[in-house]
Amino acid sequence: MNALFCALDKNEFNRISSCETAFDIWRTLEITHEGTSRVKDSKVNLLLHDFELFRMTPSETIDDM
């Protein structure tokens, strides 16, 4: 836990200072930086939607696209 405490800046330290185990610290940082599974699913759905809408218009060249 000490290694994790020393490796973090002040804002991150304040976020995890109340954690009691290294696993709790890791999970808190993981959720903070990656998001929950619902957030991840939402991001994937948005990217998939953008990909599906990606089309080249008839007047557009490949370089313009």
- Model confidence pLDDT, tens digit, residues 45-55: 999 999 998 88
Paired tokens of 59: 């007047």
Q: Collect the ranges in the chain with pLDDT lower than 50.
A: none
Q: Over the range 1-32, which residues count as b (16 or more CB within 10 Å of their CB) and which as e?
A: eeeeeeebeeebeeebeebeeeeebeeebeee
Residue 48 confidence (pLDDT): 93
- pTM of the full structure: 0.50
User: What's the CA gap between 44 and 24, in Å, rounded?
Assistant: 26
Residue 8 confidence (pLDDT): 84
User: What's the CA gap between 40 and 46, in Å, rounded?
Assistant: 10
Rg (CA), the chain: 20
